[in-house]
Amino acid sequence: MGKTLKKPPFDEFGAHVSTAGGVQTAPGRAREINSTCLQLFTKQPNRWAEPEVTLETKAVFQAEMEAHEIGVAGSHDSYLINLASPKSELWDRSLSSFKEELERCSILGLQFLVTHPGNATDGDHESGISRNAEGVTRALEGVDGPTRVLLELTAGGGTTVGGSFQDLAAILSRIPRDLHHRLGICFDTCHAYSAGYDLVKDYDGVWTAFSDILGLDRLGLFHMNDSKNPFGSRKDRHEHLGEGSLGADPFRRIVQDPRFFEIPKVLETPKEPDPIGNDLKNLEFLRGFRENP
């Protein structure tokens, strides 16, 4: 007889879903993969254009959320945003875009907004950390609402900021304490493994370090991704769960770890050529660890 695992108060497994046709289409797409947890883009991620969320869009989106019983929904910001940039024109544009993104999230009532800390392209890592912290601070001070900004751990390649727990802690330390209730961390399993956090051979050590440096209460979201590249590669290439260099065991341990039962777990695994089928396959992989411990 296997051990019985406590069931979380909601189904915490979900995926990043398409918003083709508008953000209001996302809840229905989440239910197509039997999920009540989703991540989306509120705009095209490779364009600077900033769409407005109208009152009608807000009403339809929230009605769809209720109709499909979506419990957790959040956004990922634009790939163009770089709040660690040393170039003043790009930094200003990034801040404006990030504030617009946070505003859309707040209007829609999204619980989280994931953001990459950016790149210090001048090689001045510490200044990149400070620039990112200033940008996040100014955005949070300028936009009120329910949305929690989650700093995403990156794979740590090149001039990337945010490729270590220490980087993320340094960013947080530069943001005023009265804003910290609106901040958290997104832990991407592929990024972590590529950055040198050995979830395969030292799972417990990784989480001890996270707890010591950041605090487990900061953890707001998992991106559940296997990696096409080996440990410590500092490359960000996602693979289907159990088919990459992490293998099955780290995902089993995260799913069965009581500390993480109530943390949403969102797929960013490959979609094509069958987006629904691939998401269903990867979600079944995760749910199997809960159902058959």
DSSP annotation of 188 reads E
3 pLDDT band, cuts 50/70/90, is very low
Q: Specify if 147 maps to a domain.
A: yes
CATH code at position 274: 3.20.20.150
For 111-140, what is the mean pLDDT?
A: 98
How far are the Cα atoms of 44, 205, 208, 214 from residue 211, in angstroms, in the given order? 35, 10, 5, 6
pLDDT at position 77: 97
Closest CA to 76 of 169, 23, 150: 150
Residue 19 lies in a domain: yes
Q: Residue 259: inside a domain, yes or no?
A: yes
Task: Note the pLDDT of residue 187.
Answer: 98
Confidence label for 291 from pLDDT (cuts 50, 70 and 90): confident
Q: Is the pLDDT of residue 12 over 80?
A: yes
**Dihedral angle of Cα 145, 177, 169, 83, to the nearest 10 degrees:** 50
Supply the DSSP symbol for 237: -
Report the domain count for the chain. Answer: 1
Q: Is residue 5 part of a domain?
A: no
**Does a structural domain hold residue 8?**
no
Span 41-64, mean pLDDT? Answer: 96
Domain span including residue 37? 13-291
Query: Is position 275 within any domain?
Result: yes
Any domain includes 239: yes
β-partners of residue 187 are: 222
pLDDT tens figures, 67-106: 999 999 999 999 999 999 999 999 999 999 999 999 999 9
33 domain residue, yes or no: yes
- Say if residue 156's pLDDT is above 60: yes
- For residue 165, the model assigns a pLDDT of 98
